[in-house]
Amino acid sequence: MLHIKDISFSYNGIRLVFDGVSINVKKGSVVGIVGPSGAGKSTLLKSVAGLITVDKGEIILDGTKIQSPQNKLVPGDDEVGFVNQSFELDDFYTCEENILRSLLHLSKEQRVVFCDQLIILLGLEEVRHLQGRHLSGGEQQRLSIAAALAKEPKILLLDEPFVHLDVHLRKKLGKYIRDLCEIRGMMILLVTHEGEEALSWSDEIYCMFNGKLTRKYAPQNAYSKPKSLKEGRFFGELNSVRIGKKQVLFRPTEFAFEGEGSNELSISFQYDEFRGFYTASYFKLENGREIVLYADASLNKISKIYVGI
Ligand code: ADP
């Protein structure tokens, strides 16, 4: 289990990046942290990886405190795998060597088998003998995920790990990593500004703004019962209308064309966007605010809907 206990961090003791953060990650589970750029997410992960020293609080992994960099010869923790955008790979090692050097805890035979598995999983067959410096950004990203998995860490920290990956590889890798969580009890802490990615991955999701965790959600509730517009919008388009004194939040599919006893809204069509299996239609309300509705086809003939049923 990972316990992050009330940690705070500032650069040079002046610039407060995050404050009073507490999170628990259970064995075999994935915890997502979602928030805008600059919220402090990456810095938070660096503290869990033992790469920076927190000002306050402590981080305990399976009963052992994560050491800060000044207490270690080599900063970082062997039990922690960290994938971020700075791909700390050896430029002169080949792709395969970069993976193998993370497999020293295994026997020689096991190393070869596991290395092959990771190369195939991440689609690196064609570049396995190329040096790190000759790999594209996407290949480096996949290699850094492979190298992190090769360590067989207790916890894997993922900082926007899939930005360069196509949707098929995301799904395949997602399934593999989830399986590792279940089979080996590995923990994952994932940070992203793409809430939808967190929805499909996480068992629990925290929202983070300006260095503070604002709320914890089950993924279903982050989508269907957000407590604020600011949080809810991270997980997909969300409408906000004022009815009487009440603010009503609803997703673009949560409306009806008829409805007794529900809230009637007069809307005027603006434009639509075809998005494959649905079309998003944008409307203006009488007060000038915009809302969006999803349906099989454009709703350009609609001027009244019912919400909050
Ligand atoms: P996020 O991952 O949510 O985008 P970061 O953790 O990268 O946020 O950054 C949080 C804040 O810390 C930002 O305001 C950023 O400018 C600041 N910051 C990041 N790195 C440094 C640094 N080395 N020195 C000073 N401020 C930094």
Mean pLDDT of 300-305: 96
Q: How far apart are the first and last CA of the chain?
A: 42
Is residue 72 within 8 Å of 51, Cβ to Cβ? no
pLDDT at 78 over 80: no
48 vs 191: CA distance, rounded Å: 12
Q: How confident is the model at residue 290 (pLDDT cuts 50, 70, 90)?
A: very high
Short-list 128, 137, 142, 141, CA closest to 93: 128
pLDDT at 75 over 70: no
Q: How many CB atoms lie within 10 A of CB 114?
A: 19
Distance 252 CA to ligand 1 centre (A): 34
pLDDT at 95 over 70: yes
Atom of ligand 1 nearest to the CA of 208: 3
**Interval 209-239: pLDDT, tens:** 999 999 999 999 999 999 999 999 999 999 9
19 vs 266: CA distance, rounded Å: 44
Q: Look at phi and psi of residue 270 and say left if phi exceeds 0, alpha if psi is from -120 to 50, else beta.
A: alpha
pLDDT at position 291 is 97
Name which residue sits closest to atom 23 of ligand 1, judged by CA.
11
* Residue to probe by mutation, ligand 1, list 10, 42, 192, 193, most atoms within 8 Å of CB: 42
pLDDT at position 288 is 92
Which residues lie with the beta carbon below 6 Å from any ligand 1 atom? 11, 15, 17, 35, 37-43
Mean pLDDT of 287-296: 96
Mean pLDDT of 121-130: 92
pLDDT at position 130 is 92
How much is the mean pLDDT over the chain? 91
pLDDT at 101 over 90: no
Distance 97 CA to ligand 1 centre (A): 32
pLDDT at 185 over 80: yes
Give the CA angle between residues 148, 152, 158 to the nearest 5°: 40
How many residues belong to the chain?
309
Mean pLDDT of 242-262: 88
pLDDT at position 271 is 98
85 vs 144: CA distance, rounded Å: 9
69 vs 51: CA distance, rounded Å: 6
pLDDT at position 33 is 97
Distance 43 CA to ligand 1 centre (A): 6
The residue type at 89: L
pLDDT at position 261 is 67
Distance 47 CA to ligand 1 centre (A): 12
Atom of ligand 1 nearest to the CA of 159: 2
pLDDT at position 69 is 80
**Interval 162-180: pLDDT, tens:** 877 888 888 888 888 888 8
pLDDT at position 141 is 85
Q: How confident is the model at residue 309 (pLDDT cuts 50, 70, 90)?
A: low
pLDDT at position 87 is 65
203 vs 69: CA distance, rounded Å: 30
